[in-house]
Amino acid sequence: YAVYRRVRAQGALVPTRLGRWMTATHRVCDAVLRDRRFGVRSAELVAGSEADEFDMSMLDRDPPDHTRLRRLAQPSFGPRRMAAYRPRIERTVDELLTRAGAEFDVVSALAAPLPIAVITDLLGVPDADAERFARYGVVIGGALDGISSLRHAARLRAAAAELRVLFEELFELRRHTPADDVISRIVAARGDRIGPQEMVPLCNLLLVAGFETTVNLVGNAVNALLDHPRQWAELCADPHGLAGPAIEETLRWDPPVQRTARCALEDVELAGRTVRAGDFVVTLLGGANRDPEVFADPDRFDIHRTPGADHLAFSSGIHYCVGQPLARLEATVALRMLAERMPGLRRAGPMRRRIGGLLRGPIRLPVRATAT
Ligand code: HEM
């Protein structure tokens, strides 16, 4: 976050090297993400990840393909489906916390298994295959983080091939016996609203986007609250009222996705500069969320913050996270139930963070549920 502050001090839009810009101000990030003169066109690829091994479906597409794929995915995250999902999420969190015992790692006991259970269920993956989906999701999530090595590229290709086989088996199954899940809806739209080559990438995106990010959100929220014991105590006194605001403040203060990027489709005048067609602008979402022009005392973590402008943790514009209702629901339920059941939560060892600058969150967060 100190780096973002330095970027912001250099100006609203900072040239980095030929054809590359970056911004850590809320106004310019938001403007770029909403401006139709910017597109994605594998922008993240150029921002240093290995996503070229991997077609990221609508996230890698501009309209009209983007619009078509997005319309297919969006209804799966509507309010009615989310409401129907809540009991299932509560049951999963309850089971995970019961199994966790008195001393556990928040990431491996709660934050990681929760979204994988939820997203595989939502997609319609049979329980028996869920563990394999999780393993491949981790490999592909690592690739998104730009940890590039030849060995990793080979693992990524292998994981992508395994996933393709699993998904194609599921497509076959759901063609004959449709169910009330995302895969069945995609299969039903095949040939009409989605091409046969587009189906696996869309499923991959839903799996990975919903998995690696939500892990970080739950991890970052617990981590922040362990560092702010007074606010943890307040949350424990009113879990139903404060879990949602605490998740919202975590999204602002320590967002799981730190940046994205866009490519100018034509010359654009922006913040007193000329961004040429083909130039990339890296939008530092984690920096925008600490912009003092928009958030008072931005470096302070405060679950009582009255929402002013929107944070950019879920991006903005046409690619605004399609899974955000699910992410918010999962994380809020997890935090609420943790506060209800373990108000005496303490650290039981040092936290270890992910490496890589795109995704941010703990990979290990040991805690002890001491009696109060
Ligand atoms: C897009 C963040 C959870 C599915 C995005 C983007 C961000 C983001 C920043 C836009 C990237 C860009 O503008 O270039 C997050 C965070 C999450 C989360 C922080 C959790 C805390 C989820 C979940 C799902 C999901 C649970 C689905 C199960 C997607 C999809 C897109 C997307 C499909 C692409 C949307 C489009 O291109 O129109 N997410 N996400 N995300 N997210 Fe999420």
What's the gap in Å between 323 CA and the centre of ligand 1?
A: 6
Mutation to probe ligand 1, out of 29, 211, 249, 314 (largest number of atoms < 8 A from CB): 314
Ligand 1 atom nearest residue 119's Cα: 28
Q: What is the pLDDT of residue 56?
A: 82
Residue 161: give the domain boundaries: 2-369
Ligand 1 is surrounded, with C-beta below 6 A, by 58-59, 70, 73, 119, 205-206, 209-210, 213-214, 217, 255-257, 260, 313-315, 319, 321-323, 326-327
Instruction: List, for residues 38-48, the tens digit of each pLDDT value.
Output: 999 754 444 44
Q: What is the pLDDT of residue 50?
A: 43
Q: What is the pLDDT of residue 49?
A: 45
Q: What is the pLDDT of residue 43?
A: 46
Q: What is the pLDDT of residue 326?
A: 97
Contacts of 279 (CB under 8 A, 6+ apart): 19, 20, 21, 263, 264
Residue of the nearest CA to atom 25 in ligand 1? 323
The CATH number linked to 271 is: 1.10.630.10
Listed residue (260, 286, 212) closest to 48, CA to CA: 260
231, 235, 238, 239: CA torsion to nearest 10: 170
Ligand 1 atom nearest residue 43's Cα: 14
What's the gap in Å between 285 CA and the centre of ligand 1?
A: 13
- Please give the helix or strand (H or E) that residue 20 lies within, else none: strand 20-23
- Name beta bridge partners: 274: 269
Look at the chain and report how many structural domains it folds into: 1
What's the gap in Å between 362 CA and the centre of ligand 1?
A: 19
Q: What is the pLDDT of residue 26?
A: 97
Residue of the nearest CA to atom 2 in ligand 1? 314
**Exposed, middle or buried: residue 199 (CB in 10 Å: 0-12, 13-18, 19+)?**
buried
Contacts of 17 (CB under 8 A, 6+ apart): none
8 Å CB contact between 111 and 96? no
What's the gap in Å between 314 CA and the centre of ligand 1?
A: 6
Mutation to probe ligand 1, out of 30, 45, 213 (largest number of atoms < 8 A from CB): 213
Q: What is the pLDDT of residue 171?
A: 95
* Residue ranges, the chain, pLDDT below 50: 43-51
- Please give the helix or strand (H or E) that residue 83 lies within, else none: helix 79-100
Q: What is the pLDDT of residue 130?
A: 84
Lookup: tokens for 90: 């509560």
